[in-house]
Amino acid sequence: MTTATKKKATSAGATNNPLLAPWRGPFKAPPFASIKPAHFGPAFTQALKAHKREIADIATREAKPSFANTIVALEKSGTLLTKVADVFFNLSSADSNDALQAIERDIAPKLAQHQSAVLLNRRLFQRIADLYERRDALGLDSEALRLLERTYKSFVRAGAALDSKSRKRIAEINTELATLGTAFTQNVLADEQAWHMMLDGDRDLDGLPPSVRDAAAQAAVQLGKPGSHAITLGRSSVEPFLQYSARRDLREEAWKAWIKRGENGGKTDNRKIVVRMMALRSEVARLIGYDTYAAYVLDDTMAKTPAEVRKLLDKVWPAALRSARSERDALEKRARAEGENFKIAAWDWRYYAEKERKARYALDEAEVRSYLTLDNVLDAAFDTAGRLFGLVFEARPDVPVYHPDVRAWEVRTKAGEHVGLFYGDYYGRPSKRSGAWMSSYRGQHKLAGSVRPIVVNVMSVAQGAPGTPTLLSFDDARTLFHELGHGLHGLLSDVTYPSLAMTNVMHDFVELPSQLYEHWLSRPEVLKKFALHEKTGKPMPERILKQLEAARTFNQGFQTVEYTASTLLDLELHSLEDTSGLDVDAFESEVLARIGMPAEITPRHRIPHFQHIIGGYAAGYYSYLWSEVMDADAFAAFEETGNIFDRKTANKLKTFIYAAGNRQDALDAYVAFRGRPPEIEGLLRKRGLT
């Protein structure tokens, strides 16, 4: 369950399984070259056995429970399991193959079963509960007290305090949910891999700028069809196509395939899986004492209740709808001006929005891209970390990586102190699941000396043709900053206990460090210095900077509607008190009709491929918006000083947010940084919804 320590969990010396041997290379990073899929099975078996033994040992101790012999011992347990699982799940997300997928189907339910056995262990819970009752008399410092409270709460929330029959049922459900969740994710990947569209000749490429053509050529190479062009269902392939392709018929075809992921009938259809998962989740919630799964999840967040989330959404939704409607009218006018007489359809929106943007702000996305090479944007993101937090990123080609596309950097303080290791894995490929994320190969803690983290950022940017730089859209560049924001939340972590470290915070707080970091990208101070033209090396001209600033809230109605619609689907789905008779299609249509969803916009994620809510964001997709209230308000703290790199503000940000993990309550942490709770006005202004 957590990372840690010096306890010898195994006697791995005799084995030639690299997952079980000590890692001796630079920074003790995983020796990827020697790790083969076949190593995972035996490594998991041994690691599970070791952790079981450790847990039994803690639970059955004769000695009276103490913080050290119970809570710290628990933190130190499972070292090997964490080490193996970190490597496995990172690889199965970023560079999967049939062998890893088969292992995942096998191991996911076993891990769930194991985790249930730990969290529902009665004797272990009794020791934790005993300590919790006496917590004020134990003489703990504030971080230790926080850990005890969080540990107690996580056991209670897992069902540890229930009778044995309920505990047994919860364990069964968790195991089944793990199997279903794995199937769901693999089905989406299978649907994405199963579809591509070949573009034959100039007629099919009509409207596509050189960068999108190059990316399509690269995608064709990856599909084994060099010399042609292909569009795939990766966001970085299909979105630019929808934005630029003048071929309305092809746009419709691509769009329909995109929104049907997980809903194509047959073996990869996710609708039945969703129905079963919702029934199981709602059963768990009731067993633990909540009316709905949403109420259960939200009880352990900043928002606390579904009603609080709705309050925020109610402020945003009508304003977003109003903006989206007037955006649609403008797009329809634009289409008519071009001699078209159809109503804008969902597959037209991005295309005409691009034209509208060009006409209204003279802003040309393709021109913007030519200033945003991947390397320039990385330099900008690293430099920002230097100016805010005094960090230096040094490329380390000697560090082993898991795929030739991956690059490694050592992160140090300006004084030369080691902070952590950072992997960047930016190019899309069929073996990678879609989306962008941050994860880690090693957590930070201080239970065995100072253990520093290994953090990874993964994106799916379309790689430039050989010999040409990879160009990012402004959105891609923003995503890169976003993920590095999460990365810094991991790298700067400075806490004692692994369970409180890095991004182990409440899920409606975790997007604050990432979304806040995006703000620096859009600032002229940063763009002028780093957005250099791919060919001439000239800085982005004042004209484009002004255009970008003017167009900042362009299409925000659309973006807010597509995001918030998914948020509402998530919240409504997990607020069902009775899930019997759930029909995913009917449910989705009914919710969208009720909220007045414009026909021209589709939710950013439809339920059959909504991976966030199958993974860790169930009843939690609102978190981005909740965190955005804070990020808009937090960036204003810098603006108010007149210096977006203000030293004093940056130091507070580091101490109370980026380095602090879950050391204190999220709202308290925010107030410690800002001096007051967050205010929503910044968010509405940022999105142009006031």
Task: Provide the minimum distance between the beta carbon of 134 and Zn ion in the complex, in angstroms, as a whole number.
Answer: 38
Residues 129-188 that bind Zn ion (CB under 5 A): none
Q: Which is nearer to Zn ion, 187 or 514 (CB)?
A: 514
Q: Is 514 in the site for Zn ion (CB under 5 A)?
A: yes
| 539 touches 529 (CB < 8 A) | yes
| 402 touches 95 (CB < 8 A) | yes
| Span of 32-40, 351-359, 472-480, 504-512 interacting with Zn ion by CB under 5 A | 504-512
**Is omega for the bond preceding 79 within 30 degrees of 0, making it cis?**
no
Task: Provide the minimum distance between the beta carbon of 495 and Zn ion in the complex, in angstroms, as a whole number.
Answer: 20
Q: Which is nearer to Zn ion, 151 or 514 (CB)?
A: 514
Residue 26 CB: number of other CB atoms within 10 A?
13
| Span of 75-83, 127-135, 262-270, 503-511 interacting with Zn ion by CB under 5 A | 503-511
| 683 exposure class (CB count in 10 Å sphere: 0-12, 13-18, 19+) | buried
- Residue 416 backbone class (left: φ over 0; alpha: ψ -120 to 50; beta: rest): left
Residue 68 CB: number of other CB atoms within 10 A?
11
Which residues does residue 507 pair with via DSSP β-bridges, in sequence order?
A: none
Q: Which is nearer to Zn ion, 127 or 482 (CB)?
A: 482
Which of 483, 511, 534, 572 is labelled catalytic?
483
Length in residues, the chain: 690
Q: Which is nearer to Zn ion, 3 or 515 (CB)?
A: 515
Task: Provide the minimum distance between the beta carbon of 485 and Zn ion in the complex, in angstroms, as a whole number.
Answer: 8
Residue 483 annotated in active site: yes
Q: Is 457 in the site for Zn ion (CB under 5 A)?
A: no
Q: Which is nearer to Zn ion, 332 or 511 (CB)?
A: 511
Task: Provide the minimum distance between the beta carbon of 107 and Zn ion in the complex, in angstroms, as a whole number.
Answer: 26
| 515 touches 632 (CB < 8 A) | no
Distance CA(154)–CA(149), nearest Å, equals 9
DSSP 302: S
Task: Provide the minimum distance between the beta carbon of 546 and Zn ion in the complex, in angstroms, as a whole number.
Answer: 29
Task: Provide the minimum distance between the beta carbon of 483 and Zn ion in the complex, in angstroms, as a whole number.
Answer: 7
| Span of 46-54, 85-93, 506-514, 521-529 interacting with Zn ion by CB under 5 A | 506-514
Extract the tokens encoding 287: 């067993």
Q: Which is nearer to Zn ion, 77 or 627 (CB)?
A: 627
Q: b vs e for 320-347, b when ≥16 Cβ sit within 10 Å of the residue's Cβ?
A: bbebbeebbebbbebbeeeeeeeebebb
Q: Which is nearer to Zn ion, 243 or 514 (CB)?
A: 514
| Span of 71-79, 328-336, 511-519, 577-585 interacting with Zn ion by CB under 5 A | 511-519
Q: Please tell me the count of residues contacting Zn ion according to CB under 5 A.
A: 2
Q: Which residue type does 134 have?
A: R
Q: Which residues contact 79 (CB under 8 A, 6 or more apart)?
A: 3, 4, 5, 7, 9
| 607 touches 584 (CB < 8 A) | yes
Distance CA(214)–CA(235), nearest Å, equals 16
Distance CA(308)–CA(670), nearest Å, equals 18
Q: Is 559 in the site for Zn ion (CB under 5 A)?
A: no
| Span of 106-114, 148-156, 236-244, 508-516 interacting with Zn ion by CB under 5 A | 508-516
Task: Provide the minimum distance between the beta carbon of 479 and Zn ion in the complex, in angstroms, as a whole number.
Answer: 9
3-state secondary structure of 155: helix
- C-alpha pair distances (Å), 499 with each of 80, 138, 342: 16, 20, 55
- C-alpha pair distances (Å), 661 with each of 61, 189, 295, 506: 30, 32, 25, 10
| 278 touches 573 (CB < 8 A) | yes
Q: Which is nearer to Zn ion, 212 or 436 (CB)?
A: 436
* Residue closest to Zn ion when measured from CB atoms: 514
| Span of 25-33, 77-85, 125-133, 507-515 interacting with Zn ion by CB under 5 A | 507-515
Catalytic residues: 483
Binding-site ranges for Zn ion (CB under 5 A): 511, 514
